[in-house]
Amino acid sequence: MVFQAFTSLPRVTKLVWTTNAFYTISMAVITIIRGFLPAASAWVTKLVIDSVVAALPPRNAPVMDVVWLVLLQLAISVASSLLSTLSNIVQQLLQELVANRIRLMIMEKANTLDLAFFENPEFYDKLRQAQEQSAFRPVQMVSGTFDLIRTAITFLSMIFLLIGLAWWVAVVALIVPIPAFIADSRYGWMGYLRMRRQSPERRQMAYYETVMTTDTYNKEVKLYNLGNFFVDRFRKLATAVYEENKGILIKRYLTSFAWLTVSLAANAAIYLYVALQTVAGVVTLGGLTLYSQAAQQVSSSFQGLLSGISGTYENNLFVGTLFDFLEYEPKIISPEKTFPVVGNGNSRGLSLEFRNVSFTYPGKKVAALKNVSFKIEAGEAIALVGRNGAGKTTIVKLLNRLYDPDDGEILVGGRNIKDYDLTELRAQVGVIFQDYVTYFMSAQSNIGIGQLSQIENEELVRSAATKSGANEVIEKLPKKYDTMLGRWFNEGTQLSGGEWQKIALARAFMRDARILVLDEPTSSLDAQAEYDVFAKFRELTEGKTAIFISHRFSTVRLADRIFVIEDGELKEEGSHQELLALDGRYAQLFNLQADAYR
């Protein structure tokens, strides 16, 4: 297990090296020289003392020897402090570069991963772990690795000096630390396991903290008097985690202490031996000084090695998690040979077809969609209705390949969507989900990102905003389109749910997509506003294929055809009138809502 600690070294080294080769080489050179300096210094001290003894009567050797040696000692000290300064500079620069690199690697990887990845708790935990630690772990990795190398050099060179004194002294100095070393690396491993085990608890704790300190939660927390409830839950978790840590922590340090005492005793014994040898005239006074310095250095560098190795061990595990994460491959990717999304029929819209599509979410038993088949012509406007959980959103997710169906095929423009380049497909299918994102950016950017290439195009952004009704909202803001939205950043302005929805809708209008999907993004608007938005949406998307999901029949009626989805199946389809005449599920739902208004 001890040697497993070092399996991360090649990876860490490679990571650091590829981040900045020049800094890495500089650090390596500095580290190696610094590793030898304590031994050099101890050796020169021995020479100084021996030369002082020699200068005393009766030998009366020249005093200049003492002067030169002290000057040499000074040179070594200055070199040592200069190198440590250089090492600080280079190391901190390198640390920042490595930390940024790792954070970028994680973000870039996350960018390629399937939605399924994020919705799987096990994968998600890995991502969180890699990401939470990426802020500080690389720093420790870099400094830890170099410290370890430096300490190892110091340790070995000191041992080498001890061999000059008596070979068995060196052997004892080498053997004594080993048990402590093993005990410590075991605790390093346990520490990691504990961290992993406690990870769900830690996440829960962080969640309660968020609930208690975030503006959007505060209202409900106050109204339902939930404050003490959440604080209490946090306290219970924190106490449990603390208790568990306490035991391990105390055991770890007491064990360390016990082993250290053993090595201290061994050192004292050797010291006594060397002192007696000096009295007997076998070892010089300089030799005794050398020994006492070396013994101290061996024990302190040994402790450095210990913490260095268990640190390296933990880094190894982090690097393991990181690389595990980086090795996940997305399943939903563009094919090698892609076809352009050309479509058929009119040029503004695209036809769309589901052929016997079935889909079950990973880890679920019940299928979200069962053998669904339908055809939508280019330019048609379709409404999906059905109760919550019926499978409407799933249809939308499959349509732009956030998930791939287990069975059946989905065709856009007459071709299986798996034949298209993913980016192009998604550019052609504009979707605004119910849980659309409120970006904490300027109003201009919030809308502009609907089509990145046009993000600076004020005219286009304004026109999209006008279509969705967001323009009226934005014109009232302090800095209009330059107003920062959301409360996170300085001078941010918070919007109401309905206002945010208009912004999100404008984003969809920015897009030059040929299939537009609105998945209940208007639920926060009042019925009249929703009707207006959809009516305008219909008018503006004339010729495009449009799908919308709504629970309001006033809106649903605007569709050319209506699909009734129930329990993952397409139960009825037809125009509003046809479905009413059918007197089935649709008529039932419609009458239910209409009754409420009678």
Which residue's CB is nearer to ligand ADP, number 119 or number 532? 119
Of 476, 561, 548, whose CA–CA distance to 519 is shortest? 548
**Measured from the CB atom, is 349 or 568 closer to ligand ADP?**
568
Cβ distance to ligand ADP smaller for residue 149 or 369:
369
Spatial distance between the Cα atoms of 2 and 313, rounded to a whole number of angstroms: 8
Tell me the torsion sign for CA atoms 259, 262, 266, 272.
positive
Q: How far is the CB of 371 from ligand ADP (least distance, A)?
A: 15
Angle between helices 167-175 and 285-327 (to 10 degrees): 40
**What does the alpha-carbon distance between residue 380 and residue 253 come to, in Å, rounded to a whole number?**
72
Nearer to ligand ADP (CB atom), residue 187 or residue 590 = 590
CB of 124 to ligand ADP, least distance (A): 12
* CB nearer ligand ADP, residue 117 or residue 318: 117
For 201-243, give the DSSP string: HHHHHHHHHHHHH-HHHHHHHHHTT-HHHHHHHHHHHHHHHHH
What is the chain's alpha carbon radius of gyration, rounded to the nearest angstrom? Answer: 35
Nearer to ligand ADP, 442 or 550 (CB): 550
Q: CB of 394: closest distance to ligand ADP in angstroms? A: 3
Any idea of the CA torsion for 227, 232, 234, 238, to the nearest 10 degrees? 150
Query: Shortest Cβ distance from residue 569 to ligand ADP (Å)?
Result: 11
Task: Please state, as a whole number, how many other Cβ atoms lie within 10 Å of the Cβ of residue 465.
Answer: 27
Nearer to ligand ADP, 142 or 368 (CB): 368
Provide the token pair at 461: 């952004």
Residue placing its CB nearer to ligand ADP in the complex, 432 or 473:
432
Minimum CB distance to ligand ADP, residue 154 (Å): 55
- Minimum gap (Å) between residue 180 Cβ and ligand ADP: 49
Which lies closer to ligand ADP via its Cβ, residue 180 or residue 579?
579
Find tokens 């046009």 and name the residue: 454
E strand residue ranges, 460-582: 515-519, 545-549, 561-566, 569-574
Distances (CA, A) of 148 to 9, 145, 187: 11, 5, 18
Structural contact between residues 435 and 477, judged by C-beta atoms closer than 8 angstroms: no
In a 13 Å sphere around the CA of 303, the CA atoms on its Cβ side amount to 13
Question: Could you tell me the smallest distance in angstroms from the CB atom of residue 386 to ligand ADP?
Answer: 5
CA distance linking residue 515 with residue 343, whole number of Å: 11
Pairing assessment for the beta strands 515-519 and 569-574 based on DSSP bridges = unpaired
- State the minimum distance, in angstroms, from the CB of residue 390 to ligand ADP: 4
433's tokens: 């989900």
Tell how far CA 11 is from the center of its chain: 19
CB of 518 to ligand ADP, least distance (A): 13
Q: How far is the CB of 393 from ligand ADP (least distance, A)?
A: 3
Residues belonging to the chain: 598
Would you say 368 or 495 has its CB closer to ligand ADP? 368
Binding interface with ligand ADP (CB under 6 A): 119, 361, 364, 368, 386, 388-394
Helices and strands of the chain, counted as H and E runs:
21, 10
The least distance separating ligand ADP from the CB of residue 555, rounded to whole angstroms, comes to: 16
Q: Which is nearer to ligand ADP, 404 or 532 (CB)?
A: 404
Of 403, 419, 314, 312, residue with least CA distance to 362: 403
